[in-house]
Each structure stands twice: as structure tokens, then as C-alpha cells.
A and B are shown apart, each in its own frame.
Chain A
Amino acid sequence: MTAALIITRAGPAMSLQDMGRAGHLGQGLSRGGAADPLALAEGQALLGQTPDTAAIEMAGMGGVFTVTAPCRIALTGAPMLAMLDGVALRWNAAHLMPAGAELRIGGARAGAYGFLHVAGGIDAPMIMGARSAHLSGGLGALLQSGDRLALGRDQGNLAAVGRGLDVADRFAGGELRILASLQTEDFSAAERDRFTNTEFRRDARANRMGMKLTHEGAPFATAAQLDVLSEVIVPGDVQMTGAGLPFVLLPECQTTGGYPRIGTVLPCDMPRAAQAGAGARLRFRFVSRADALLAEQSYRAHLAGLRAAVRPLLRDPAQMGDLLSYQLIDGAVSAHHEGD
């Protein structure tokens, strides 16, 4: 029987995510995929997976999970409190999850989107080239309590756990670099200056389409924004609504729209943007195309180096009890697995 992950209790906004569906912009379907693609790549590196492996994205809050066969898991993205049968698990690390053990993942301690990866991936049906839910497009749905998700076959070694990644903090807001885009010039120089000199906070209102920002002071507006022709939109666009309030558009954004965009966040800064938790402070800085290309090169090099950066977890002496219990469990599980 195929191994399965059972969701005993689902958080309010959990969905299956991968790299999304590229190639359907002309039909109005944005790519979608993980809100934090870096967190997806980190989990794939920890478990030695291919880039198309799907994981569970947990917005704000995790859930309770069990597996029907022992498997390797990894936890990445927004750090959450994770307990496996009452023992705390490190974040940004790979662990062994024995059959029947209960994994409880709580609320995000920082950031917005946590990820639960299972080695072999979640073996959901491919629809139009991907397994990810595209919630705003009506493709797939949020995961629910009681869902039973088939797991793909783990090509790795069950013993390849107890490894971690050092991850720079991108979960507390900060500076987002933006490029000028189609409508940047429709905002006056004074408005653009005010935009880059304003400190924004991420509003609690956010979903996979976009996140609202709040700020003190007047709304940002262009002269004629209710009658401009609908034009292409890309993730990272900072769009001003009719009321002049900024939204940063995320992977499930619409593909075209008529509201003006003051600029576009660099792709390499989108993990930081998406992971800004409610209330996090954000600022924007315009950069040149040359600087943006350098930043992109550096980001791709970072992604390419993730697997090599995975290292054994150093054991904290204060957690020696865990170490002992896990070595025992590891042994028990391996024997059990071979006997299945």
C-alpha cells in the first residue's frame, strides 16, 4: 500500500505547492506556486529532491500530521513550533518521522509561510503541468482536516536525516529592492520620493494573490487611474488600488490589470516580501537594471549552492535526551520498515 500523510488537523490556509504552472499567462492563469520559492528549494536541498517536488505550504499556522510509513521530512520557511511526539524539532532541518508518530506544527513565530516537505513528495495528480493549488484561479483547494495525501517514493536513504541549513533571516520585513516599471513615470517624482521614504507595514490582510501594506500619510495616486487600459501584471508589482493603497502582488496575482504599479520588486527579494509577517516593517529602494541582474545572479548561485550547504545538525547538549531517544527510534523504525 502506498505510504500516505494524514492531516489530522489542518491549519486555516494550508495548500499543496510546487514551482507552479508556467506557460499559461496568455490564458489568464498566473504561475502560482510556493509563496516563498526559496523555502521550497531549501526543503528540496535538505531532502535531496528534484525541483518539481510538491510540499505543504502553511500560511501562518501549521497543523497535526501522521504518516502511515516511516519517512523523512523537512521543515522550512517561516519558523513554527514543531513537536514530534512531544519532542521539539529544529526548523530548517530534515528529520525522520516514524509511522504513527504525531507531528504538531503550531503558529509562525516570525514570517508568514512555513513549509512541510516529505521525501518523495506529495503524489497528488498533475493538473496542467503542476500539483500546486491555484486558489484564486479555482484550481485545487485548501487542504482540510482528514485529508490523506499519497506520498511519492523516497529515492534517498531513510538515515539521511539530522541535517540542517543555516538560513538568513528573511522573516521580519526590511528593505525590498524595486525596478521602475510600466507606470512608474505616471507617479510624480515627489510621489516616488515619498514612496521610497515611507515605512510600510504589512497589513493582516494578505493571501496568495497579494499583500496589502499600510502607512501613515496620504494615499499614493496618479492623475488618471480609473480609466487606464488593462495591461500585463507580474508578481512583485507594487500596485496602487483606486484608493491609492499599495499591494505587493504574489504568485497567484491576476495576469493583467488596470491599476497603476509604481515598481516591481526584484524576484530575489520576493521571498523576503512574502515572508514579512503581519505588522512587519518594509521599505522600498529603486535599483538599476544592472544592479538587479547582479542580485539575480547572486540569488541563483545561492539556490544552486543549497545542497552543498546542507550539514549535519550539531547536537545541543541540553537536548541530549532527544538525541538518545531519536537514535533508538531510528533503529526501531529501520527494522520495522524492512519488515513491512
Chain B
Amino acid sequence: MSEFPRIAAVGLGGVLVRFADHLSEPANRAALAFRRTVEDAAWDGVAECATSLTSTFLRFDPLVVEFDDLAARLNALLASRDWYDVPLPTGRRRFIVPCVFGGDHGPQFGAAADAAGLDHAAALAALCAPLRVMTIGFAPGLPYMGALPDFDIARLSDLVSVPAGGVAVAIGQAIVFPNLSPTGWRYVGQSALRPFQPGAAQPFLLNAGDEVQFRAADPDELQAISDAADPMGGAEVTAI
């Protein structure tokens, strides 16, 4: 019997379906597809669903539905097909995002490249490869993007503060902060992207499944984009 997928309780009113314990593209697709299927099922007592990188989370009212009942239903759904073989969601987009790497705009770029064993040119090339948004989490609209296997480096225990639009890397992924935030990830670049627009008709800029590719920009270009106060951060957006 495979160790995954696996069901676990999260506090009193949560249940997590884990498809892997390490980052994997099929497990990420499985989590996204499973979330959509559970949402469509609209089970009584299930309040909302979400995904993290390789798992699907359900929040439920423990006085309406019992954990064991929910787990049994989830197990039946898991057994109904091969979830690792489901395609990505449709309606995805590609964002090409100007970003300044290194210097004041990414003070840990050099240290991150060193930790990854890359020279600066190779680090820059790796960061500018196409990435996929694997999940949104931690902070509103914050994308976890990968795969970035060259930067499979640990988080730091000393936290740094990263401003809105800041790009940080760790454990094979890149993230963009929607707001000023402390982090143990390494702050390598700065964009003008604002992934969360509170109060806007579409407050969340990115969805899991979207593609993001950074394009190296110089500080003057970033300043011009920032001055224009464009929440898209000067990104070129195309449907894929």
C-alpha cells in the first residue's frame, strides 16, 4: 500500500489530504484537481477547501459532520481515479514580470547563489526560467512558484523583512510578497507586482496553475513601473 495519498486531521475542524511529502508536479496537480472535485461535491458541513503545494485542505464544522465520516468519503473519492494523472486546470495565464535581482533590490541574491553553488550569471538564468504557480498561501495572494531545483536551499532561522513585491527563494521555490513581511527565505529580487489588491473587483492577481517568468530589469525601469502604480507590476499577460 502506498504511503500517499494520506488523510490527516488538522485541529478540530480541518482535514488534510496529502499527495506527497516533497514537492512534485503530479502531486501538485492532484491536489488542485481533488480540491475542485470536493468543492463540486458540496458536502454538508464542509465550509471551504484550499490547496497547499501537494495537499488539499477542507475546513468543516465538527458538530455537523464527523471526522471519520469525512475521511471515509475522502478515501472513496481518492480511490475513484488516479489523481496524479489529472491535467492542469484550464483558463491559465502567463505573466512576464520585470524584476531587479541583487544589490539593494535583492540583498541576499549573492548568498543564495553561493548556497545553491551557482555563479551569478547561472543564478540569474535559473531565476528567469518559466515557473508555475503551484499554490497561493501564507499571505493573501502570495504565489509559491516552481520548480526551481537549482535553489533547493534551506530557509534561514534568522528572519529578514521583505517589502511588497519582493522575490524570495528557498526549498526549490520562489515567492512574491504581497505586503511587507518577515521571512526565513532569501530576498533575491524586487518586482512591482502586487498580488493582493484589497477591495478590487479581482483582489487576487494570480491563480494556481498560472505561469510566471521573471525578466531581469534595471532599477530605473522598476522605478518607472512603481511610479505608474500598476498592480500588475509592468507584467505582460497572455492566456495559455
The chain A residues found within 8 Å of chain B, CB to CB, are 22-29, 127-128, 134, 136-140, 179, 181-182, 226-227, 229-232, 234, 236-237, 241-243, 254-258, 264, 266-267, 289, 292-293, 296-297, 300
Query: Are A232 and B48 within 8 A (Cβ)?
Result: no
Question: In the docked arrangement, what's the CA distance between A255 and B13, Å?
Answer: 15
Residues in B with CB closer than 8 Å to A300 are: 63
Question: In the docked arrangement, what's the CA distance between A285 and B184, Å?
Answer: 30
Query: Are B204 and A258 within 8 A (Cβ)?
Result: no
Q: If A226-B184, A230-B53, A242-B155 touch, does A292 touch B48 (CB 8 Å cutoff)? A: no
Residues in B with CB closer than 8 Å to A137 are: 139-140, 178-179, 196, 198
Shortest CB distance A287–B (Å): 10
Question: In the docked arrangement, what's the CA distance between A211 and B31, Å?
Answer: 31
Q: If A137-B179, A231-B16, A256-B135 touch, does A289 touch B55 (CB 8 Å cutoff)? A: no
Interface pairs (10), CB distance under 8 Å: A28-B136, A29-B141, A232-B52, A234-B13, A237-B11, A241-B157, A254-B138, A254-B139, A289-B9, A300-B63
Question: In the docked arrangement, what's the CA distance between A230 and B174, Å?
Answer: 13
B144 within 8 A of A: yes
Q: If A231-B16, A258-B171 touch, does A138 touch B135 (CB 8 Å cutoff)? A: no
Shortest CB distance B17–A (Å): 11
Residues in A with CB closer than 8 Å to B198 are: 127-128, 137-140
Residues in A with CB closer than 8 Å to B57 are: 25, 232
B135's closest neighbor in chain A, by CB?
A256
Query: Are A179 and B11 within 8 A (Cβ)?
Result: yes
A125's closest neighbor in chain B, by CB?
B199
Select which of A226, A267, A293 is within 8 A of B155 by beta carbon.
A226
Chain A binding surface SS class = loop
Query: Are A255 and B50 within 8 A (Cβ)?
Result: yes
Query: Are A27 and B63 within 8 A (Cβ)?
Result: no
A139's closest neighbor in chain B, by CB?
B198
Shortest CB distance A173–B (Å): 21
Residue-wise, chain B 33-57 has the 8 Å CB interface mask toward A (1 for contact) of 0010000000000011111111101
Query: Are A28 and B11 within 8 A (Cβ)?
Result: no
Residues in A with CB closer than 8 Å to B22 are: 229
Query: Are A256 and B141 within 8 A (Cβ)?
Result: no
Question: In the docked arrangement, what's the CA distance between A232 and B47, Å?
Answer: 16
Query: Are B140 and A29 within 8 A (Cβ)?
Result: yes
Query: Are A136 and B52 within 8 A (Cβ)?
Result: no
Q: A242-B157, A267-B12 are in contact. List 7 more A-B contacts (CB 8 A).
A: A127-B198, A179-B9, A229-B54, A230-B144, A242-B184, A264-B11, A267-B13
Residues in B with CB closer than 8 Å to A296 are: 12, 62-63
Query: Are B137 and A23 within 8 A (Cβ)?
Result: no
Residues in B with CB closer than 8 Å to A243 are: 157
B10 within 8 A of A: yes
Residue with the greatest number of chain B CB neighbours at <10 A, chosen from A22, A229, A293: A229
B18's closest neighbor in chain A, by CB?
A231
Residue-wise, chain B 1-27 has the 8 Å CB interface mask toward A (1 for contact) of 000000011111110100001110000
Query: Are B138 and A255 within 8 A (Cβ)?
Result: yes
Select which of B62, B137, B178 is within 8 A of A230 by beta carbon.
B137
Query: Are A264 and B140 within 8 A (Cβ)?
Result: no
B178's closest neighbor in chain A, by CB?
A138
9 cross-chain pairs, A with B, having the tightest CB-CB distances, nearest first: A242-B157, A256-B137, A26-B50, A264-B11, A29-B140, A25-B50, A139-B198, A226-B154, A138-B179
Q: If A29-B140, A138-B179, A296-B62 touch, does A127 touch B12 (CB 8 Å cutoff)? A: no
B198's closest neighbor in chain A, by CB?
A139
Shortest CB distance A198–B (Å): 21
Query: Are A139 and B184 within 8 A (Cβ)?
Result: no
Query: Are A227 and B136 within 8 A (Cβ)?
Result: no
Question: In the docked arrangement, what's the CA distance between A292 and B9, Å?
Answer: 13
Find residues 161-199 in chain B having any chain A CB closer than 8 Å to their own CB: 164, 171, 178-179, 184, 196, 198-199
Residues in A with CB closer than 8 Å to B67 are: 289
Query: Are B11 and A234 within 8 A (Cβ)?
Result: yes
Select which of A29, A128, A181, A254 is within 8 A of B10 by beta carbon.
A181
Question: In the docked arrangement, what's the CA distance between A263 and B157, Å?
Answer: 21
Q: If A230-B53, A242-B155 touch, does A24 touch B10 (CB 8 Å cutoff)? A: no
Query: Are A231 and B140 within 8 A (Cβ)?
Result: no
Residues in A with CB closer than 8 Å to B23 are: 229
Q: If A229-B21, A242-B184, A293-B62 touch, does A236 touch B50 (CB 8 Å cutoff)? A: no
